[in-house]
Amino acid sequence: MIIISLMFFLVRLKVSDGGTVNLLSKSCGVYNVNELGFQKRQAELVEEPENSEKVYRCSSQEMHIFGTIGSGASSVVQRAIHMTIHRVLALKKINVFEKEKRQQLLNEMRTLCDACCYQGLVEFHGAFYTPDTGQVSIVLEYMDGGSLADVLRLQRSIPEHILSRMLPRLLGALSYLHKVRHLVHRDIKPANLLINLKGEPKITDFGISAGLDSSVAMCATFVGTVTYMSPERIRSENYSYPADIWSLGLTLLECATGKYPYTANDGPANLMLQILYDPSPSPPRHLFSPEFGSFIDSCLQKDPEARPTADDLLEHPFLRKYGNSDEELAAYARKVFDPTKRLKEMADMLAVHYYLLFDGGDEIWHHMKPFYNEASTFSFSGKLFAGSDDIFRALSDIRKKLAGDRPCEKLVHVVEKLHCRALENDGIGIRASGSFIIGDQFLICGDGVRAEGMPSFDELSIDLASKRMGTFHEQFSMIPGSGIGTFVIAKQELYILKP
């Protein structure tokens, strides 16, 4: 088993002959990361009575990965399904052998592992190491909408009443980072504020966040996106939590007007001079309310000591002007990001996920059982099975019959047609049909969604007509489970025909 030991304030990397990767630092905390997950341990030099030790079981072998959905300078983000709970997740992959990226990895894990479910921060579900690629995958909640930068690309601007309703959650998260965790995010911008189809906004990307010893400590490092840097950061002065308030104000102003407030076309040097010496930007008074103008003006004070705290801003009249309606935020998110398209994408992945479990090895087969609940039904060969126990026994019997007496190969699915659609209340409908052939892995024809590691049917050059041992038709109705991004099979019908 390969283990990575992670400590904050990284100074060197050592790789042992036995395949252990040690990241050594002056110690603020220690993380042991391997293929099965990671463990957080208390640092010897730091008193940390609460949450000093945490274990996250999140194995790479328990993930069905479905391609890249985004990338940046330091990481690649992929969608995945955690097969034990049938949850759609996002994997942020960082190469641990690149020094700058290692530090960003540590920052992300430092921030998220102790705030794994804090409202307003993207949820953290663990991490694991992949030896073949040298990457650590940080497992995060999949935000099925997108970022505010995506909203601006699609809508050009965001109405101020929508921004007002997003702010309580975002400011609450900043207050938590500043007051409880003593962290400066240092990269608040539209691309790092996410929203899901429920309308919930959340902060993400803590790769360059900085920890302070106390609420009055300061940072001195010049990192982050220059376009959203506060004046004191550009001047290379010591800075603290007010730097995030400046970035938030600039972000909100850009979202409301649909235009970045400064002229950034003449290069970063000219941009920094504008931020330092031009008057702070302000929303046009004839287009926006006095409350919004007051909020932005408060955030964009040149003097950091004059800026309000996140807690102060939570009491600002702008947050009370339009009330607090989660329903309206959800309606707005669904207007911007087509839920039908998003749910169809999930349906494609869940269908492949199902057949990978069915035709996979015995070591993962037991994960199929929690795909059903006590209200689920399964119809096959004129019989109706109800509840997870009854359905799992029926499926196990079908699976054994398809395996037969062949020691190395069995009858596996080849999906020739797959139709997925969105149902009411965020449900998913799936219809699949195809053939059974003797083999060792489920296959899908054409250009359909494939999980990482799945071979292409076309590349295998299989003569399906000569290999066909039977056909199947199957349809599923899936509904959201109890956790965000989880799904349960509510109704399933299976028909198997011989050639």
CATH number listed for the domain at residues 4-141: 3.30.200.20
Q: What type of residue sits at position 226?
A: V
- For residues 36 and 425, give the distance between their C-alpha atoms in angstroms, rounded to a whole number: 35
- The per-residue pLDDT for 263 is 83
How many other CB atoms are found less than 10 A from the CB of residue 322? Answer: 17
Q: What is the mean pLDDT of residues 340-347?
A: 88
In terms of average pLDDT, the best of 70-79, 262-271, 290-299, 490-499 is 290-299
Whether 266 has a pLDDT exceeding 80, the answer reads no
User: 14 exposed, middle or buried (CB, 10 Å; 0-12, 13-18, 19+)?
Assistant: exposed
- For residues 331 and 341, give the distance between their C-alpha atoms in angstroms, rounded to a whole number: 16
Architecture of domain 339-497: Roll (3.10)
- The per-residue pLDDT for 484 is 81
Task: Give the 3-state secondary structure of residue 432.
Answer: strand
Answer yes or no: are the C-beta atoms of 1 and 35 closer than 8 Å: yes
Q: What type of residue sits at position 216?
A: V
- The per-residue pLDDT for 430 is 96
Domain boundaries, the chain: 4-141, 146-336, 339-497
Model pLDDT for residues 277-290, shown as the tens digit of each residue: 999 999 999 999 99
What residues form DSSP beta bridges with 435? 414, 471
CATH of 146-336, picked from 1.10.510.10, 3.90.550.10, 1.10.3720.10, 3.40.50.720, is 1.10.510.10
CA torsion through residues 495, 445, 341, 251, sign: positive
- The per-residue pLDDT for 422 is 86
Model pLDDT for residues 14-32, shown as the tens digit of each residue: 544 444 444 544 545 677 7
Nearest to 159 by CA among 343, 292, 314, 312: 292
Listed in order, strand segments (DSSP E) in 340-427 are 377-380, 383-386, 410-422
- For residues 349 and 261, give the distance between their C-alpha atoms in angstroms, rounded to a whole number: 40
**Which candidate in 17, 132, 144, 187 is catalytic?**
187
92 is in an annotated binding site: yes
- The per-residue pLDDT for 116 is 64
Nearest to 487 by CA among 85, 200, 143, 144: 85
Nearest to 399 by CA among 352, 360, 432, 363: 360
Whether 217 has a pLDDT exceeding 90, the answer reads no
Whether 193 has a pLDDT exceeding 90, the answer reads yes
Phi, psi (deg, nearest 5) at residue 213:
-70, -25
Q: What is the mean pLDDT of residues 90-104?
A: 81
Q: Is 405 among the residues known to form the active site?
A: no
- Binning pLDDT at 50, 70 and 90, where does residue 353 land? very high
